[in-house]
Amino acid sequence: MGFDNPSIPWSELERVLSDRRRPRNVPAGADGGDSPAWSHKRGPYVPAPIERPTDAVPYAELHAHSSFSFLDGASSPEDLVEEAERLGLHALAITDHDGFYGIVRFAEAAQGRQVKTVYGAELSLQLPKPQKGEADPAGSHLLVLARGQEGYHRLAAAITHAQLRGAEKGRPLYDLDALAAQADGHWAILTGCRKGAVRRALADRGLTGGTDAAAAELDQLVALFGADAVHVELIDHGDPQDSAVNDVLAGLAADRGLPTVATNNVHYATPGRRQLAAAVAAVRANRSLDELDGWLPVHAGAHLRSGAEMQRRFARYPGAVARTVALADELAFPLRAARPALPKLPVPEGHTPMSWLRQLVWDAVPRRYPDLKPQDRARIGHELDVIEQKDFPGYFLIVHGIVQEARRRGILCQGRGSAANSAICYLLDITAVDAIAYGLPFERFLSSLREEEPDIDVDFDSDRREEIIQWVYATYGRDRAAQVANVIQYRPKNAIRDMARALGHSPGQQDAFSKQVEGWGASLSTGDGHDIPDQVIEYAEELLKAPRHLGIHSGGMVLTDRPVGEVVPIEHARMENRTVIQWDKDDASWMGLVKFDLLGLGMLAALQYCFDLIRGSTGRTGSWPPSRRRRRRSTTCCAGPTRSGCSRSSPGRRWVCCRDCSRAGSTTW
């Protein structure tokens, strides 16, 4: 530190002095590339102690948006679950826009709670284009709740089809007739919010002239999905016309014998987050709060309410609150019941995946281990037994197939990480480290006593990795293979910048404010002398760790036996010819989806360039991986069996040999 050096925050100085300049979990020497894929692992949810009321009025909230509606919800799934438990709700449904982005965290947070979990989505119909930047997004909404596991798979498939049918990311294309055919009685349909077709007809033409139009829209829903599926949704946020609209909707339901259900169209857990909800809406619209004022709701009512409060608000509509409980009981199921298995690979006739894996391994033994010792044979047999016990033969066969295809194409590749502890991976040419020779413990990679899935990371020539990724898509199909998403969360700098924009500060001020905080970390650290307004800091702190948009994992792919789009919706990635699931690697792991890491390593590309240069200039070619046959360290003379006495001299690393020995004077041994 010199006199002319700029000042740095104390936290930065502490990191430098303690050698913590790298992000946590990133080892020394990491070059910041995508191999290895250094990413923070989301820790398990730790439930907060909550005392649930014993006298709560039974009520299930069936229409709630979390922060995974991406700038249209101001509370995380975990916060919503905790508030629902605190209020004594019977069940809670997460219905984010066009996807299941946050439902794994929702399900994880609900474990051990009494709140039942219902899964659904609010589908955006008739979108002319992606709606980010629009003050009042176009299109209409259809609120769908999955009826059990089968309904869940059908809804995921419908969202996948719409997301991939749209040519642009953020513009799913739904067809109502196709949705009705997909539902086949396995969905519950709610008439929805002001963007729902029924309420929208009332709003467009007024309560007097719009009743017939609303009735026509309701009749269309019944014709498409059936009277048993359609429920007329009543919402009361305290707006002047809420009661009048609910009266019309209840009358339409009574005339058709349809049930009414009360919801609160939740966008945040507690009333205190109303201002933050308005701020994130301004960010979504690329406007300040002042510019968005005419489109913002005047109330702070879109929060979770207790059953007793909902019963008071909907006293004019008998049964609307109680029906939510009965409907939730029909819909709720544990999410992990929907976990898939790995694809069933074709194996030669007469073989199972496990027997075929055993044959591949034992056929490779003579090539790798010409003189296999009994204890080494037992080691290989033990590894195979653990793989069979954990039911992972398909996983190893898939990785083996991917690596073999890369070698067939002449693409340099190499398994790394804990997989190097496996003799099976060595025999299958996935890794090049002899786990037996080096005495590496197999249990560091896979153990019968642990629940972790195997994790084989394979590095490919970064210039040609895309060939392998596209080969996987082509081999297993776009419906059974997809890449893992990366949920881009708010960090201090962009949280400050977005909240400053929402609160009306100029672009120059936004940039100046963001430079006064550190770019990474879980909290805002501004140091002394900053001029960031308190309200900007307050909102930014609430926004930290909230999801902002989806990215793409550097190389993780998931493969499933049933179409993966029936387990989690798939959508377009920004990269050409890439499709991603709506979950990140931690969510996929919690759900039991096995991830295959196909990573690009620049050093392998550099090695390939070297091989090409050598071949071009000398004509010499070599094999990959290179031979790793170890030199014998015998002290007997190599010139003949009758001579002996050759030995190594430690200081000079030279052989002390007879004059006929080829090792004489050698500098290597």
Each residue's pLDDT tens digit, 372-399 = 999 999 999 999 999 999 889 999 999 9
* CA separation, residue 629 to residues 391, 423, 641, 646 (Å): 33, 16, 22, 22
Percent of the chain with pLDDT over 90: 62
Residue 660 pLDDT: 53
Q: Distance between CA 554 and CA 552 in Å, rounded?
A: 6
* CA separation, residue 608 to residues 37, 247, 413, 614 (Å): 22, 73, 11, 10
Residue written as token pair 């995380």: 76
Q: Just give the CATH number of 60-259+300-337.
A: 3.20.20.140
DSSP SS3 for 10: helix
pLDDT above 70 for 515: yes
Which distant-in-sequence residues (6+ apart) come within 8 Å of 491 by Cβ? Answer: 519, 520, 521, 544
Residue 285, CA atoms < 13 Å, CB-side half-sphere: 24
Q: In b/e form, how buried is each residue of 272-305, taking b as 16+ CB within 10 angstroms?
A: ebbbbbbbbbbbbbebbbeebeeeebeebbbbbb
Q: How confident is the model at residue 643 (pLDDT cuts 50, 70, 90)?
A: very low
The two beta strands, 595-601 and 547-559, are antiparallel
Q: Answer yes or no: are the C-beta atoms of 360 and 354 closer than 8 Å.
A: no
Q: How confident is the model at residue 8 (pLDDT cuts 50, 70, 90)?
A: low
DSSP SS3 for 549: strand
Percent of the chain with pLDDT over 70: 85
Q: Distance between CA 661 and CA 646 in Å, rounded?
A: 8
Which distant-in-sequence residues (6+ apart) come within 8 Å of 650 by Cβ? Answer: none
- What average pLDDT score do residues 300-324 get? 95
pTM of the prediction? 0.83
pLDDT above 50 for 22: no
Give the per-residue SS3 of 189-248. EECCCCCEHHHHHHHHHHHHHCHHHHHHHHHHHHHHHCCCCEEEEEECCCCCCHHHHHHH
Residue 12, CA atoms < 13 Å, CB-side half-sphere: 13
Residue 175 pLDDT: 95
pLDDT above 90 for 63: yes
Residue 228 pLDDT: 96
Evaluate the omega torsion of the peptide bond into residue 625 and state whether it is cis, within 30 degrees of 0: yes
- Per-residue pLDDT of 393-415, as tens digits, reads 999 999 999 999 999 999 999 99
Q: Distance between CA 95 and CA 475 in Å, rounded?
A: 34
Q: Distance between CA 659 and CA 470 in Å, rounded?
A: 59
Residue written as token pair 């513009």: 171
DSSP SS3 for 550: strand
Nearest to 342 by CA among 396, 387, 389: 396
Cα angle, residue 278 at apex, residues 275 and 280 outer, rounded to 5°: 110
Lowest mean pLDDT among 4-8, 74-78, 200-204, 226-230: 4-8
Q: How confident is the model at residue 460 (pLDDT cuts 50, 70, 90)?
A: very high
Q: How confident is the model at residue 518 (pLDDT cuts 50, 70, 90)?
A: confident
E strand or H helix at 482: strand 481-489
CA 244 and chain centroid, separation: 42
Nearest to 260 by CA among 245, 275, 274, 270: 245
- What average pLDDT score do residues 644-651 get? 49
Structure tokens at 23: 């992000």
DSSP SS3 for 588: helix
pLDDT above 60 for 633: no
Q: Could you say which DSSP state residue 268 is in?
A: B
Nearest to 394 by CA among 439, 441, 345: 345
Residue 135 pLDDT: 85
Q: Answer yes or no: are the C-beta atoms of 292 and 282 closer than 8 Å.
A: yes
Q: For the chain, what's the residue count? A: 669
Structure tokens at 620: 């010499």
Q: How confident is the model at residue 12 (pLDDT cuts 50, 70, 90)?
A: low
- Per-residue pLDDT of 578-604, as tens digits, reads 899 999 999 998 998 888 999 999 999
Q: Which of 23-37, 151-165, 200-214 has the highest mean pLDDT?
A: 151-165
Q: Distance between CA 96 and CA 131 in Å, rounded?
A: 15
Q: How confident is the model at residue 638 (pLDDT cuts 50, 70, 90)?
A: low
What are the extents of the domains in the chain?
60-259+300-337, 353-486+551-605, 491-544, 631-669
Q: Could you say which DSSP state residue 345 is in?
A: -
DSSP SS3 for 615: helix
pLDDT above 60 for 640: no
Q: Distance between CA 116 and CA 58 in Å, rounded?
A: 12
Residue written as token pair 């939510």: 324
Residue 133 pLDDT: 83
* CA separation, residue 175 to residues 142, 225, 561, 661 (Å): 11, 13, 27, 82
Mean pLDDT of the chain: 86
Q: Which of 150-164, 296-310, 611-625 has the highest mean pLDDT?
A: 150-164
- What average pLDDT score do residues 137-151 get? 95
- Per-residue pLDDT of 481-501, as tens digits, reads 999 998 888 888 889 999 999
Residue 230 pLDDT: 97
Q: Answer yes or no: are the C-beta atoms of 646 and 657 closer than 8 Å.
A: yes
Q: Distance between CA 142 and CA 176 in Å, rounded?
A: 10
Which distant-in-sequence residues (6+ apart) come within 8 Å of 125 by Cβ? Answer: 139, 140, 141, 142, 174, 176
Which of the pair, 669 or 95, is modelled with greater confidence?
Answer: 95
Q: Distance between CA 403 and CA 654 in Å, rounded?
A: 40
pLDDT above 80 for 30: no
Which distant-in-sequence residues (6+ apart) come within 8 Å of 617 by Cβ? Answer: none
Cα angle, residue 123 at apex, residues 119 and 129 outer, rounded to 5°: 145
